[in-house]
Amino acid sequence: QQPVQSPQAVILREGEDAVINCSSSKALYSVHWYRQKHGEAPVFLMILLKGGEQKGHEKISASFNEKKQQSSLYLTASQLSYSGTYFCGTAVSNAGGTSYGKLTFGQGTILTVHP
Amino acid sequence: NAGVTQTPKFQVLKTGQSMTLQCAQDMNHEYMSWYRQDPGMGLRLIHYSVGAGITDQGEVPNGYNVSRSTTEDFPLRLLSAAPSQTSVYFCASTPSRGRKDNSPLHFGNGTRLTVT
């Protein structure tokens, strides 16, 4: 099943903060976050691994609650360039710990930042 | 360094026609995958490959075929196009990091397919 993202859409003014949530019904090994601008390919933002390791963007942070199978993406002091659709992609746990790039994506959260 | 290259960028097909969407990567990535993106549905996995000669189905494989004869190329074939296959198709690759999954997906720029 697809992970569920909330909210579906967010409208901000520059400088405001936002939180996007991603929730799965399955035991997760990792959560990826991507941003997609209209008409473009998704671009990598962040990976969070079971056990606490993170890898990603300087100005964007995220958390991963392994017990609840939830992740949250924190966008602080938003800029116009933050506008786009944000997707979480989840990899379920397996013995090898490798998803083979086989991510299941949420339906997306549309973020709009106004001047 | 080109990354992941998809061709064509746009394609219009008639119902019943067949075609191949091309995907090539020059990063020596072992893992490659195809996703389709429909409004409100996010990205759904069609097929994926863990290396040359090895492919497997994703969540929406019906009507599509893949092969992986080289590390670089992972074409997606539509056997008999249907209007339900109207979508944007993305190819993605990621390197093998052994047993630890800490590598992001690198996406191509997509192919916008319309089936009439």
pLDDT for the residue A50:
77
The answer to whether residue B99 scores a pLDDT higher than 60 is no
Q: Which residue of A has its CA nearest to B6?
A: A41
pLDDT for the residue B76:
98
The answer to whether residue A53 scores a pLDDT higher than 70 is no
Q: What is the mean pLDDT of chain A?
A: 88
- Indicate yes or no: CB of B102 within 8 angstroms of CB of A108: no
Average pLDDT over residues B11-24: 97
pLDDT for the residue A5:
97
Give B-chain residues touching A30 at CB under 8 angstroms: 101-102
Q: How far is B44 from chain A (nearest CA, A)?
A: 7
Q: How far is B71 from chain A (nearest CA, A)?
A: 14
Average pLDDT over residues A21-31: 90
Average pLDDT over residues A43-47: 92
Name the residue with higher pLDDT: B55 or B100: B55
Average pLDDT over residues B9-15: 97
Give A-chain residues touching B105 at CB under 8 angstroms: 32, 34, 42, 44, 89, 101, 103
> What is the enclosing helix (H) or strand (E) of B1?
none
> Which DSSP symbol is given to B73?
B
The answer to whether residue B102 scores a pLDDT higher than 90 is no
